[in-house]
Amino acid sequence: MRYFSIVLVMLFIFSCKNEKKSSVEKLNLKNTVFDTITTSQKVKEKRRTISSLKTEYNFKTLFSTIKNIKHTGKKHHDMLTNSSRNFISDIFSLGIRDLNVKTTSYEYKNKVVFYVHTIKHINDTISIKPFLENAQGKKTEGYLGIRVLIFAMKNEKEVNFIDIPANWKHVELKKELLNILYKNIDSDVILCNRTKKCIYKDLRKNKIKGN
């Protein structure tokens, strides 16, 4: 009888320890879930603080106000414009099927040809802004590296950008065009010039304090 009582006591103690351990495990699990939620919230908050293009700007509207720029539609094309979906998907780390790209050509003083690409994410519920932000800090290399790219948001869902190919015959005219564009653009943009890393520039004439 005495041994039986001892066994009962030991079983009781062992049972209490297991129950305590189980409750601790549940508590740890709850803490883990809470930590995951907290981390997720912190990530979301961090995403909100990432700098994005603040203004919407349509380059086609700009060109109608500048002398010596003529819209030439589909008159011009080159290797890059023909495969625009490929290189754009690479810049924004998006699948080709996710993008809708429209390209049109322009001439400056009938000698310097350049393009405007308009990119739209096919899923209208997704803004392209996060993908545009990803372009910052990336180098434009290879065939793309000899071009000047100027990105701006066309609206909440679309981005448009100027694509100026190398023009070795009219280098000075190309510089002239760039100076005119920078002078007339009233927007914050991302600039990719030759093989340098893409950088954010605020070209707005009336900048809001704190931006």
User: pLDDT tens, 174-210?
Assistant: 999 999 999 999 999 999 887 778 889 999 988 765 5
State mean pLDDT over 153-157. 88
**What pLDDT was estimated at residue 173?**
95
The confidence band for 106, taking pLDDT boundaries of 50, 70 and 90, is very high
Reply yes or no on whether the pLDDT at 163 is more than 80.
Answer: yes
Reply yes or no on whether the pLDDT at 48 is more than 80.
Answer: no
State mean pLDDT over 91-119. 87
User: pTM value?
Assistant: 0.71
- Mean predicted lDDT score pLDDT of the chain: 75
Match 């590296």 to its residue by tokens: 145
Of 27-41, 124-138, 183-197, the range with the highest mean pLDDT is 183-197
User: pLDDT tens, 52-80?
Assistant: 788 899 999 999 899 999 999 989 988 77
Of 200 and 19, the one with more pLDDT: 200
State mean pLDDT over 13-20. 52
Domain definitions of the chain by residue range: 1-49, 59-202
